[in-house]
Copies of this chain bind each other. A is one copy, B any other.
């Protein structure tokens, strides 16, 4: 019966409408969601005006969202939900620590050969990344798919510079590990940056007086048959924002050594470089697939 509901009776009435779920997990999720949503509204005594503001906010998040602008992901990130969900699902184990995906992953990324320059011609200090993907026993994982993406030297991703780049992807690629579990590429050194603040999420950060800054990082998303996927990033140890990441994703276990080299030194692919460059090496450990 759903008539004449009051502040006290409505939660139970709404929860009862989910009793007919054929999927028990869906029932559990919605009954719990309704409980917390209603408890939240009751605890803060949510006003009608605040409800309108929230509906308008979500509509505006929707309007600014696109395949290259994941504002709902960013909202989840700045509220700490993304990292929490990651912790719930990848709390421990012998694998490389995971962290959040972030709003800049793009499905339509180009495939690249190992050794390729994936910078898309964007100017910056050259960076040579060399990765190895192994199982918990240290054996190479052959043929793993490795997504990587990062910002330019001013902290912007390609999708934020679509005009300048004529919509072409840059500083992102999908690679494969070779017979030794290795993958490697050339790109440019990224930089710390603010999360996008020109949308609705920026309003929250400004109103809360929160820093929008993220420490410098390179994203990775690894998939290999028989292993759990790994979403992670590597950080720089001396980054000024390492301990106050706007989206709560930084971990000391994911700090890599960005080694500085001078002009005249030899790059990992054998060229004597005429300009300064950096190298990063990292070994990623994948956990065996569950179930």
Check if A62 is an interface residue, CB within 8 A of chain B.
yes
What DSSP secondary structure best describes chain A's contact surface? Answer: helix
Determine if A91 and B207 form an interchain contact, defined as CB atoms under 8 angstroms apart.
Answer: no
Please report the total number of A residues contacting B with Cβ < 8 Å.
77
Nearest CB in chain B: distance from A62 CB, A: 2
A86 at the interface (CB under 8 A from B): yes
Most buried by B among A17, A23, A65: A17
How many of these chains are in the complex? 2
- Give complex CA distance A27, B47 in Å: 15
CA distance in complex: A72, B42 (Å): 20
Q: Are A59 and B65 in contact (CB under 8 A)?
A: yes
Which residues from B are CB-within-8-Å of A61?
A: 58, 62
- Extra 13 A-B pairs, beta carbons < 8 Å, given A22-B209, A37-B79, A42-B84: A2-B245, A10-B84, A10-B248, A18-B210, A34-B80, A36-B36, A45-B88, A47-B85, A47-B88, A59-B65, A61-B62, A62-B62, A62-B63
